[in-house]
Structure 1
């Protein structure tokens, strides 16, 4: 089947709209390089659009009615936004669910050491990465330090053009004959992803003088001491802003586009909704890259509890109504798909691949090989979504994640499907997925936002 290229359908005004939207998206992912930063910015945007904190609504015993907007913040890493619909929530919700965590290097709890007069930080990589991609590139440090008295200190080093950056060295090619015989997974070992942070010795009696210099800088600039690393969450991520990619500026290169491209488009779609027949939800979660586990992952009870709290605030709560609300819901698991890459065509099946410029991607199923671990959406649901996309003139495509026996992947879709609701994966096609710098098409980002709006309007 021939699929449309979105660029060929745009007139001059639409092109301007696409590029303008892309600029706002680039600003978001340049600013939000950790899950905490994503949630902070989401709350800022939500408040500017009239959303209230659900905790305040509960405390003040407000009664929620159609058109009201609330958000629930879970530990600063997960958020659920609700636009209350005109129908009872037990009739079901329309849910956009994405994740805001991305592959990265986490600084260990006891990270700082000195070796041959060089100050180093030890890391533990997070999510599925090719470790060799993270060496010899400028890295920034983002995160928080929580002191014993509960004081939070925000860390961001390496994003301002006047900031220093840090990084991980690689072996010079002149001495790499043994290294180059190793497999890709062993070229760089996880325990060798140590970040060089300083080399000036501190004058005085300290035995580890380069380390002492770094500790003095941290104390002077941030009031952080070495033991404070024990209660810190600091991430090393690629330094620098997202940028236009390609001589025609048709693409965007940036860090963390899996899955913040779908988080941003879901959030913007939600902000465009002023009213709805059924309650609309935007759910942005943490820990997807490591199995959606923990208190801030999709497998926690956070979302289910939020639904119960919101229904209680509408004065229409019962346990069975919560169950019905979840069962009767429809969801787009807003997550990225693999874009066809001519350099690696051998792992893709061309008729069932996602292509740059062909719009929002629907993945009926993910999983690996024999659909292991997949969510497989019903044909009836796909038929409904096709009708919605065509009604709103949204350019869309369908795809699988590579050849059947090549590998695969998963999302949060199967977790929500356990409530017996209709769920399908759909989002933006990405090249370089899980690399420090990922690439997307501006047309696909725009069409994905339009697709999410169409879903919230008509599902």
Structure 2
């Protein structure tokens, strides 16, 4: 079914609001290139809008009532926000859920080595990437190093204009005959994604030394710089979390500035628009909840992934503060909730039309995308939303004049993908996948339409208010 291009429907006032949301979104993308940075940004924004730390409410012996706003953080990598509504929690919540981890390259725990007077950091890629896309790009290093005394050192190198950047090297085309005969998935192997970090050897102190060269002198030079700048020893890498991401800021894309090109839009485009929607709503009947979660790209596993009990435990705490402890009421609250599992969708790309089924594809500027089901091939691993819930969603979107579309991820046998929807559906709640159409998904630089970013923000607000 043909949907109207949203750009054709905007008034001057709406175009101004669209640019405001786009600018705010780009700023958040630049501030949050890792899941830890996203949590910090989300908490900062939430506190500015009157949210309190749930731990502090519990510690102070406080309670929660309609209008209160709280957040809870898990291991600095996931965050949940609640805006308490008038209705009892057991009647359910309206939940927005998105993930804040993105495909990248991680630094190993014993990473620094020297090879022929070049210093490298050994790496292991994270999530589904085309490894050949990550070579010969300016790369930045983000993360934390935690020393034995508990001191945390924040690392961000490569983002400022005066910073150095890093690179993963590739073979020159003049010698790449055999390399170019390989299949794309092995033309660059995982073990060759090591990060080039230095080439200058450390000189010996002695002026009269005939041979100023020293064993692993380049590595020693890097270690000396790390010690001088960050007070880091080599062993501190054991307790570090360092992520390699594309260096540079998000940018407007296209002569008409209608698009955004940036790293990590899967799935921060849904995460930040969900966050904005939470901040811009008031006087709610049902409690609104926003989940920004880690580890979706590798199966939602671990303590900070959606499979953990963090969400369930946090709802139990909120329930106890608002209505008293009750296991039965907690189960009712979870089952009676409604959720948008907000994750990106593949935008139709006419350059690769052969893998799309056009009638069931998501298009740029056609609005928020809903996926009744995801999974792969025979809907394997899918949450499949029921028709009654889809009708409610349509009504809510139409009530607030939100542009939206329904789509699938490519042709039936072309591949597929999953989200956190099926995990939340285990509680018996209504869940549907929704999100923003993205070109070049999982590439170092992804592209979205500003119109779709704006419609996602509007759609998430509509969901919170109307469901």
TM range (shorter): over 0.9
SS of residue in 1 equivalent to 2:283:
coil
Asked if 2 retains the 8 angstrom alpha-carbon contact of 1:139 and 1:237, the reply is: yes
> 1:11 Cα shift?
1.9
* Cα distance between partner residues in 2 of 1:206 and 1:104: 34
Matched, 1:242 2:211: no
Structure 2 unpaired stretches of 5+: 205-212
Segment drifting more, 199-208 vs 108-117: 199-208
Matched, 1:452 2:463: no
Matched, 1:221 2:215: no
* Cα distance between partner residues in 1 of 2:178 and 2:214: 37
Task: Find the counterpart in structure 1 of residue 82 from structure 2.
Answer: 82
Task: Find the counterpart in structure 2 of residue 9 from structure 1.
Answer: 9
Alignment counterpart, residue 265 of structure 1, candidates 273, 279, 293: 273
Task: Find the counterpart in structure 2 of residue 118 from structure 1.
Answer: 118
Matched, 1:132 2:140: no
Matched, 1:274 2:282: yes
Asked if 2 retains the 8 angstrom alpha-carbon contact of 1:206 and 1:212, the reply is: no
CA offsets per residue over residues 379-437 of structure 1, 9 Å max, x none? 11000110111111000001000000000000000000000000001010000000000
CA offsets per residue over residues 43-83 of structure 1, 9 Å max, x none? 00000110010000000110110000110010100011011
SS of residue in 2 equivalent to 1:140:
strand
Q: How many residues align?
A: 459
Task: Find the counterpart in structure 2 of residue 362 from structure 1.
Answer: 370
Structure 1 unpaired stretches of 5+: none
Provide the aligned C-alpha RMSD in A.
0.7
SS of residue in 2 equivalent to 1:314:
helix
Task: Find the counterpart in structure 2 of residue 65 from structure 1.
Answer: 65
Asked if 2 retains the 8 angstrom alpha-carbon contact of 1:95 and 1:280, the reply is: yes
SS of residue in 2 equivalent to 1:424:
strand
Moved over 3 A (4+): none
Task: Find the counterpart in structure 2 of residue 146 from structure 1.
Answer: 146
Task: Find the counterpart in structure 2 of residue 38 from structure 1.
Answer: 38
Asked if 2 retains the 8 angstrom alpha-carbon contact of 1:83 and 1:275, the reply is: no
Task: Find the counterpart in structure 1 of residue 159 from structure 2.
Answer: 159
Alignment counterpart, residue 338 of structure 1, candidates 334, 346, 353: 346
* Cα distance between partner residues in 1 of 2:69 and 2:3: 38
Asked if 2 retains the 8 angstrom alpha-carbon contact of 1:401 and 1:408, the reply is: yes
Matched, 1:393 2:401: yes
User: TM-score, normalised on structure 1?
Assistant: 0.99
SS of residue in 2 equivalent to 1:26:
helix
User: TM-score, normalised on structure 2?
Assistant: 0.98
CA offsets per residue over residues 302-343 of structure 1, 9 Å max, x none? 000000000001133200110000000000001100000011
CA offsets per residue over residues 265-323 of structure 1, 9 Å max, x none? 00000001122111100000000000000000000000000000000011332001100
Asked if 2 retains the 8 angstrom alpha-carbon contact of 1:99 and 1:288, the reply is: yes
Task: Find the counterpart in structure 1 of residue 336 from structure 2.
Answer: 328
Task: Find the counterpart in structure 2 of residue 316 from structure 1.
Answer: 324
SS of residue in 1 equivalent to 2:86:
coil
> 1:14 Cα shift?
1.5
> 1:149 Cα shift?
0.5
